[in-house]
Structure 1
Amino acid sequence: MGKYLRQRILQIVPVLILITFIVFFLVYMAGDPVSLMLPEDATPEDIENLREALKLNEPVPVQFGYFLLNLVQGDFGQSFRYAQPALPIVMERLPATLILALTSMVVAVLIAIPAGIISAVKRNTFLDMFVTGFSILGKAMPNFWLGIMLMLVFGVMLQVLPVSGNETWRHLVLPSITLGTAVSAEMTRLIRSSMLEILQQDYIRTAKSKGVQPFTLIMKHGFKNSLVPVITILFLQISTLVSGALVTEVVFSYPGLGQLLVQAVNGRDMAIVQAAVFVVAIMVIFLNLIADILYRIFDPRIKYN
């Protein structure tokens, strides 16, 4: 286990280098940022001085070298919109997005686990068809459409929940349901299929013949042993929620990383774009590493060579 973890941590280094390479060239191909950073009445001399200060007159490999050097120091450049370093701005918005992602995952788990178990236990019944239909519908609904419908019903018609901001826990309810619904649909189908496979195993039939209580049989012997694929989708969906929350944050005017990234792309504030993409990429990498560790905890049969 320790050797495997050391190998995985060493593998993170080339992955991060590849990510920085992709981020740099995506931003490089987006165009010259100098025209956006200076006013319209800027003189050619002002433009040339700024290009020189930003090292934009250097060859591309040299620019990439400067980018890596600054990256090691945590410097992604200055945001021309906020006139501040980009990374602190991203880190300031990150907690709001993490809170939204975690609450959305709680919503998804509270829906998916009981729905998936019931669907598997009541296979080919009305309940199974209802849950399956719900999961298909939840997966098919676009986030922005569901968010708008929730705003219309609970914010405008019933006026019981706020539709923008993040001042209190009530501001998290509608965005969390919007994000959590699609994730719960995916998890429900996975839990159902995993539980169906486990319930066909010989040790389940043996435990049933020995008179094990149905709840114990399902939860302790069935659901516990079906957790490995569930953990996989759970951690992959957490990273998806963090990176995919931008649409929901824009719909609900939620001041998180997603809304910041959309504004930065629209305004071509490339320092913010670079910092945000890099932070999200690091989070995805380490979430996958945590998932690998949890595999071994929940299923000791898994061996790492």
Structure 2
Amino acid sequence: MKYLLKSLLKTIPVLLFITLIVFVLMRLTGDPVSLMLPETATQEERETLKNSLGLNDPLPVQYMHFLGDLVKGDFGDSFRYNTDALELVMERLPATIELAIAAMIVAVIISIPLGILSAIKRNSFMDLFITGGAVLGKAMPSFWLGIMLILLFSVMFQLFPVSGRGTLGHLVLPAITLGTGIAAEMTRLIRSSMLEILGQDFIRTARSKGLRETVVVNQHAFRNALIPVVTIMALQTATLVGGTLITETVFAWPGLGQLLVQAVNLRDMAVVQAATFIIAIFVIVSNLSADLIYRLLDPRIKYE
């Protein structure tokens, strides 16, 4: 609990630094008033809108106002959608989380058995086949894989919908597209971690006691090999929440990635700030969860 409380306190300056970066960068991209008003707007109308948005105040004053509104959960209204920015982000967030979780499940289902098999069959044809497939999966562009899956399973065989969200069938192809690259990276990590554990003394002791190889691998080796895997899972899960843009675009998935890029292009500052803040919180929670899972996997780990 002491470690958890200290970690939570450390997130406060991190979040403040993130808000400062986003605040400064969004104001360096240009004047949002030019996008909010038509070209025929007069200079007086522009100045009136700037005053109402507080854009004529000095930057430190604008930032303090922004922090004050942030504490109240008020990021302002989106000028494009004419609605509260935080509500708009929270409406899109479940779709992105759903896709991220599904992609991670696909990655785990693929990578764990292949990584273990590759380590057990080291330097065999099976090992070369799996590691070669992992390299290919990591190098394969996600947009190309998504298009190929659509052509094969949606157009040719008509097994899954082409795009959109709503049913389990809509989720299958985007999850496979997004999870393939993660599975490739996790497979190689599991293989290397398993090889390291299988060469240690306690594994040789377990084998000398006459334990079955499946017991040695599953109960002794794999659990100890999970710590680096948990790390990469936490990092990838956090990345998926903010980095599913390409997959969301290919499959017209109504998630947070598309909303954030559209907001950046239109300089919709309220939406960008709200989305970035939510993603930052998700990343921090994911990393903190990974630290706590380490303790469950290996009781020898102490937080001091």
The normalised TM-score by structure 1 is 0.98
Query: Whole-Å Cα distance in 1 between the matches of residues 89 and 134 of structure 2?
Result: 34
1:178-199 per-residue CA deviation (whole Å, 9 max, x = no partner) reads 1000000111011000000110
Query: Whole-Å Cα distance in 1 between the matches of residues 36 and 71 of structure 2?
Result: 25
Query: Whole-Å Cα distance in 1 between the matches of residues 48 and 199 of structure 2?
Result: 72
Aligned to 1:239: 238
1:6-45 per-residue CA deviation (whole Å, 9 max, x = no partner) reads 2111100100000000010111111110111112222221
- Correspondence 1:18 to 2:22: no
Q: 1:95 is aligned with what amino acid?
A: P
Q: 1:85 is aligned with what amino acid?
A: D
- For structure 1, the residue ranges without an aligned partner over 5 or more in a row are none
- For structure 2, the residue ranges without an aligned partner over 5 or more in a row are none
Aligned to 1:75: 74
Query: Whole-Å Cα distance in 2 between the matches of residues 24 and 95 of structure 1?
Result: 25
Query: Whole-Å Cα distance in 1 between the matches of residues 207 and 24 of structure 2?
Result: 59
Pairwise CA distance, 1:157? 1.7
- Correspondence 1:298 to 2:277: no
Aligned to 1:161: 160
- Report SS of the residue matched to 2:6: helix
- Report 1:121-270 matches (<5 A): 121-270=120-269
- Report SS of the residue matched to 1:166: coil
Pairwise CA distance, 1:292? 0.5
Query: Whole-Å Cα distance in 1 between the matches of residues 162 and 263 of structure 2?
Result: 23
1:193-215 per-residue CA deviation (whole Å, 9 max, x = no partner) reads 00001100111111111111111
Query: Whole-Å Cα distance in 1 between the matches of residues 124 and 180 of structure 2?
Result: 23
Query: Whole-Å Cα distance in 1 between the matches of residues 89 and 144 of structure 2?
Result: 27
- Report SS of the residue matched to 2:38: coil
Aligned to 1:102: 101
Query: Whole-Å Cα distance in 2 between the matches of residues 7 and 198 of structure 1?
Result: 32
RMSD (Å), alpha carbons: 0.9
1:210-239 per-residue CA deviation (whole Å, 9 max, x = no partner) reads 111111110000101111111101111101
Number of residue equivalences: 304
Pairwise CA distance, 1:270? 2.0
Aligned to 1:47: 46
Pairwise CA distance, 1:241? 1.1
- Report SS of the residue matched to 1:167: coil
The normalised TM-score by structure 2 is 0.98
Aligned to 2:115: 116
Query: Whole-Å Cα distance in 1 between the matches of residues 203 and 88 of structure 2?
Result: 53
Query: Whole-Å Cα distance in 1 between the matches of residues 45 and 240 of structure 2?
Result: 42
Aligned to 2:31: 32
Q: 1:50 is aligned with what amino acid?
A: L
Query: Whole-Å Cα distance in 2 between the matches of residues 247 and 277 of structure 1?
Result: 18
- Report SS of the residue matched to 1:106: helix
Identity %: 63
CA contact (8 A) 2:26 2:267 kept: no
CA contact (8 A) 2:95 2:254 kept: yes
CA contact (8 A) 2:78 2:270 kept: yes
Query: Whole-Å Cα distance in 2 between the matches of residues 35 and 235 of structure 1?
Result: 40
- Report SS of the residue matched to 1:16: helix
Pairwise CA distance, 1:273? 1.2
Query: Whole-Å Cα distance in 2 between the matches of residues 292 and 46 of structure 1?
Result: 53
